[in-house]
A = this chain, B = another copy of it.
Amino acid sequence: MAVTLGHNQYGKAETRVVRVFRDSEPHEIADYNVSVALAGDFADVHLTGDNRKCLTTDATKNTVNAYAKEAGDAVRDPESFGIALAKHFVDDVPQVSRVRMTLEAYPWDRLSSGGSPHPHAFSRRGAYVRTATVTYDGSELWVVSGVRDLVVLKTTDSEFHTFYEDRYTTLQPTNDRIMATSVTAQWLHTDLATDWGASFDRVLATLGGTFARHHSLALQQTLYAMGEDIITEQPEIAEIRFSLPNKHHFVIDLSPFDVENKNEVFHADDRPYGYIEGTVRRDDAPNPGPNAFDPGQGW
């Protein structure tokens, strides 16, 4: 028996770079958290501590910061910023054969002053984080856009009943419940010439509209309906993956206090929570293989 090195990757994680576009009036702002994961010819670093091929993580940070200026308009969207960086790392650093860029973008809204939007003052939106993952191996390029921490809730139009029952089933069926979730979604593009910002906004609008409009029999069904509508409207999206915690709102029994509660007072519970994950795909979409959504170590 011998011991060997398996899959490995490294880089600088969470470089918090903010780009201000000051040359335009009004000012614009792009606020990123950028992580780099490089794979390639790095066995020597692990086996003997020979760092001659090791691009320092400090240098990957410097590159992210420099590209926040050098990459020009590509910096305006996380997808295009990630593509510019991914191409550099693989194309310009010989020992790097594959890179995975993971970007978070924090949206800002313009503050109002005297009734009109201010040209250089902002407040952080907070309603969600926009994400992008770009993977590049020197020939193929995978671009995945996403959103997380988008919390949505509907006060009615949600049922859950007629489910399977085993000996551990005690849940009561319901014809009217609150349904709420914190959306994490990621979707794979097949058109790399997309207007990334417009595409993102459209996904979000469809997602919210379908969540609102859909009469739900299960959170899984809502997941599928949102995915179906998004892919139908934007066929350049090959597939979309969701992780949806069911943020349970339990009706509180107020009868011990002689108070009637007709679905008006709820306990917003923390843990445990249902966790619903699913993928919706165009049936003619290419198989993304292990690359587009690859997390690295399996987590």
Contact = CB atoms under 8 A, between A and B. Distances in A.
Contacts of A186: 297-299
Given A47-B224, A171-B58, A267-B17, A243 B6 contact: no
The prevalent SS among residues of A at the interface is: mixed
Nearest to A183: B123
A272 interface: yes
A191 interface: no
Given A13-B274, A277-B8, A20 B65 contact: no
A1 B282 contact: yes
Interface string A1-25: 1111111111111111111111000
A280 B123 contact: no
23 contacts: A1-B235, A3-B280, A5-B279, A10-B275, A10-B276, A12-B273, A15-B272, A17-B252, A17-B266, A17-B268, A20-B266, A49-B216, A51-B160, A69-B260, A70-B259, A111-B209, A112-B205, A121-B153, A123-B127, A123-B151, A125-B127, A170-B256, A186-B297
